Amino acid sequence: MSQEHDIDRDDDYLWDRSGPVDLEIARLERLLAPYALHDACHAPRPAASRSRRRRGWRIALASAAVLAMFAVGVGTWYRQRLLWPEAQPWRMAAIGSVRIDGRDASAAETLAPGRVLETGKGGSVRLRAARIGEIVLGEGSRFSLVETRSGRHRVDLRQGSLWARVWAPPGSLGVATKHGDVLDLGCEFVLKSDAGGNGSLEVRSGWVQIDDFWRETLVPQGARVEFRGDGPPGTPYDVGASAEFVAALREIDAQGGDVSAIAPAVRQLAENARPQDAITLLSLLKRHPRLGEGPLFDRLAAIMPADAGVTREQLRQRGADALSPWWQSLPYPRMKRWWMQWPDAFASKAPAEALFSEQPR
């Protein structure tokens, strides 16, 4: 046998393990054994495994179909909710003494635009505000539906108490009062006013904007605004504010904010301000930037985030515009996210008396 053939036979172990064992190759085999590709990796998958995989795909596809149908249904429901024929009457349900245009309306089922609705002692009315929400009127109320169509619904409250809950884009519902227009920004609120113009607005969720003859006022959830006679609306304050804080605020509002930055009322306000009262201090600075020269600004700087970077010098130079970082730091839901207040889409089952009760401080 030739030498070349002998070399080939000696190398057979390297290729198919048919020749003599090569000790060096065997050593390398032992070292590389943990990384070997075993025959099990090439074995066909059991039929049960393939069946489970097909079943998994069927479940995934069915789930996707259900989600797609749900999304289409929600979108259709949402669009339908916002549509409303122009001047179509609202549905209503009366309890007790209720009159429309001076006539008994205890059995009435709708309220048309232009009609004046009045509730007597113990009377109340529950109205469907088109499809976007509901309104409840308490006793002693004088109310009318002014305008109603898709995207715009306007009512008028001359006196009495009104509870409203709306789930719709900002500005869909507006309530005219002696103190200006109360515009819903996707929320729940209670509005009260007597014949003399005294009353209050309390926001339970979302935001409300008051457009009066003097300015615009934004009122967040958990805050209240007071009305006094024919004057402008007061400054918003948290419903949990202390009696000392509210008393000082009323004194400042009674003077139209025309007080010294270091007046006793301003000092009392700053000393009793909690972090939740930042909305009041910011609203005052927005209306009267000169109050920033006293303890009011110092208290705000102490309770607002340090990285907001608002300084007294910026307030002097830029006025209320300098306060934007502080406004953005307030812990309230953003007005552009009104749809997140989705519980407001459901009708309330509570009686009128419960809806009008004030939240405790």
The mean pLDDT value for 141-165 works out to 97
In degrees and rounded to multiples of 5, residue 166 shows phi and psi of -135, 140
Q: What is the pLDDT of residue 172?
A: 95
Asked whether residue 11 carries a pLDDT value surpassing 60, the answer given is no
Average pLDDT, the chain: 84
Give the global pTM. 0.75
Distance CA 79, CA 91 (A): 20
Asked whether residue 205 carries a pLDDT value surpassing 50, the answer given is yes
Q: What is the pLDDT of residue 82?
A: 83
Reported as a single tens digit per residue, the pLDDT across 77-135 is: 455 668 999 999 999 999 999 999 999 999 999 999 999 999 999 999 999 999 999 99
Reported as a single tens digit per residue, the pLDDT across 218-241 is: 999 999 999 998 788 999 999 999
> Binning pLDDT at 50, 70 and 90, where does residue 309 land?
confident
Burial class (CB in 10 A: 0-12, 13-18, 19+), 23: exposed
**Angle made by CA atoms 323, 327, 332, in degrees to the nearest 5:** 170
The mean pLDDT value for 328-355 works out to 71
Reported as a single tens digit per residue, the pLDDT across 27-41 is: 666 655 655 555 544
Q: At what angle do helices 243-254 and 278-287 cross, to 10 degrees?
A: 10
Higher pLDDT, 17 or 160: 160
Q: What is the pLDDT of residue 24?
A: 62
Q: What is the pLDDT of residue 17?
A: 60
Percent of the chain scored above 70 by pLDDT? 73
> Binning pLDDT at 50, 70 and 90, where does residue 213 land?
confident
Asked whether residue 199 carries a pLDDT value surpassing 90, the answer given is yes
